[in-house]
Amino acid sequence: KQLSSSQVRQLFLDFFETKGHKIEPSASLIPIDDPTLLWINSGVATLKKYFDGSVVPENPRITNAQKSIRTNDIENVGKTARHHTMFEMLGNFSVGDYFKKDAIHWAWELLTSDEWYGLDKDKLYVTIHPDDEEAFRIWHEEVGLPKESIIKLEENFWDIGAGPCGPNSEIFFDRGQEYNDVAEDDPENFPGGENERYLEIWNLVFSEFNHTENNEYLPLPHKNIDTGMGLERMVSIFQDAPTNFETDLFIPIIEATQKMSDGKEYGKDSTTDTSFKVIADHIRAVSFAIGDGALPSNEGRGYVLRRLIRRAVMHGKKLGIDKAFLVDLVPVVGQIMESYYPEIVEKQDFIQKVIKTEEERFHETINDGLSIISELIKDMKAANQTVLSGKDIFKLYDTYGFPVELTEEMAQDEGLSVDHEGFEVEMTAQRDRARAARSKEESMSVQSSLLTDIKVVSEFVGYTEDTVDAKLM
């Protein structure tokens, strides 16, 4: 089947609507009342209130397409076929309603029925927890999946250390041997292993225990279902794309970037392609995050944004782009996403203003920073040194605005290692200096106000005792 990204998203929501689910719109990327998360990183993250019982949902069956950001995948972007910083997670949820049997049967129906996704059954594999006999029975006896297609993995247990948890079952699509990047006899060459052949598309979590503070696993009074399917990965299947990027979600961004480059073309060289992919990925994340109210800064969410923008600018340089350009990609992102996420088009002017300012600021120092770093690398290589010092990383950060992760990535690309601890020492020293300067400033301002007061008083002292008294009263 050939499906557009909008169709893939809509089919998922429609399917679960026919199964009695209420469609919830995507929530903001910025968590509300949840100090444990920097960004919404999955569909379930916004529904916690239903699962912990603090809010009772109108309908215990919910489905959504949720924008999500995972910073732990930043370095995978553009290297693997399947990772993004911002992606959409499609999910179906049962808050104490249906459980494992329905969740598995419905997943299979959506994936394989000709009316819905119509995927080839022979290309699907699942992983389960070794102790989950029920899941094995359902997949094997009821669904009819051959034993060889059901892989038992100890790690298939969803547990964040506290609260609801349970075994999970993940679904993989075999893209074919031509995509395999590991050898036939490599231990990672199986569905569930770290390879590019078997694509993880969907995670079904059967939440049935409560992980207590005493480290006990007690049965939950109401069992829950929580699932997450990666939209971009599904789209890559339906558009026969070698990676998530050759799909209608990214191609227009890549084409627009190509036009701004110094004649670089996508699909000719893998290093160049990585730059195109990183830019296409990061501009989406940045546009959505700013649209949801985040702003670039030096800490927390704002620092993630700054890092994404600067990383994208750096990859732009590799494509020969020497001026602010991310700003011009915002309308492209807006158009691609408009049908389900009108917010980018609606807030386009603001998003562009923020990105342009940030890009231009970085452009003021990036060339100097880049020549410093290439000098450093040259000197180090000449001197047979292999570790970039914390002082140098700090200087690039402090003077040239190079996020530490970026400098480290560049050093590592050159085969060097980095003294990250040394950098932290420099950072701490700078914070201490800033604090000292601040407290000095504070004591200065207290002092100067004392001086002004004294001056006022002494002025009057110069007059007669009476005036002074009169003034003081």
Pick the piece of the chain touching Mg ion (CB under 5 A) from 123-131, 196-204, 326-334, 428-436.
196-204
Query: Closer CB to ligand ATP, residue 229 or residue 333?
Result: 229
Identify the CA nearest to 205 among candidates 160, 156, 133: 156
292 binds ligand ATP (CB under 6 A): no
Residue 314 contact, options ligand ATP, Mg ion, none, Cβ 5-8 Å cut-off depending on partner type:
none
Select the residue interacting with Mg ion from 203, 244, 257, 261 (CB under 5 A): 203
Query: Closer CB to Mg ion, residue 8 or residue 199?
Result: 199
Q: Return the H-helix or E-strand segment holding 388.
A: strand 387-388
User: Which residues lie below 8 Å from residue 202, measured CB to CB, with a gap of 6+?
Assistant: 107, 111, 170, 171, 227, 228, 229, 230
Say whether 119 sits in a helix, a strand or coil. coil
Rounded to whole angstroms, how far apart are CA atoms 239 and 234? Answer: 9
223 binds ligand ATP (CB under 6 A): no
Rounded to whole angstroms, how far apart are CA atoms 242 and 232? Answer: 12
- Total residues contacting ligand ATP by CB under 6 A comes to 16
What six digits make up the tokens of 307?
Answer: 């890092």
For residue 43, CA distances in Å to 17, 19, 235, 360 come to 16, 18, 18, 35
Q: Compute φ and ψ for 94, nearest 5 degrees.
A: -125, 120
Residue 84 contact, options Mg ion, ligand ATP, none, Cβ 5-8 Å cut-off depending on partner type:
ligand ATP
Pick the piece of the chain touching Mg ion (CB under 5 A) from 55-63, 199-207, 259-267, 350-358.
199-207
125 binds ligand ATP (CB under 6 A): no
Between 175 and 204, how does the x/- string for binding to ligand ATP read (CB under 6 A)?
-------------------------xxxx-
CB-hemisphere CA count at 13 Å for 253? 33
Query: Closer CB to Mg ion, residue 198 or residue 397?
Result: 198
Query: Closer CB to ligand ATP, residue 246 or residue 426?
Result: 246
Q: How many other C-beta atoms can be found within 10 angstroms of the C-beta atom of residue 130?
A: 13
156 binds Mg ion (CB under 5 A): no
CB of 83 to Mg ion, least distance (A): 7
What six digits make up the tokens of 11?
Answer: 């089919």
CB of 382 to ligand ATP, least distance (A): 39
Q: Which residues bind ligand ATP (CB under 6 A)?
A: 70, 73, 82-84, 87, 89, 200-203, 228-230, 232-233
Q: Which residues bind Mg ion (CB under 5 A)?
A: 200, 203
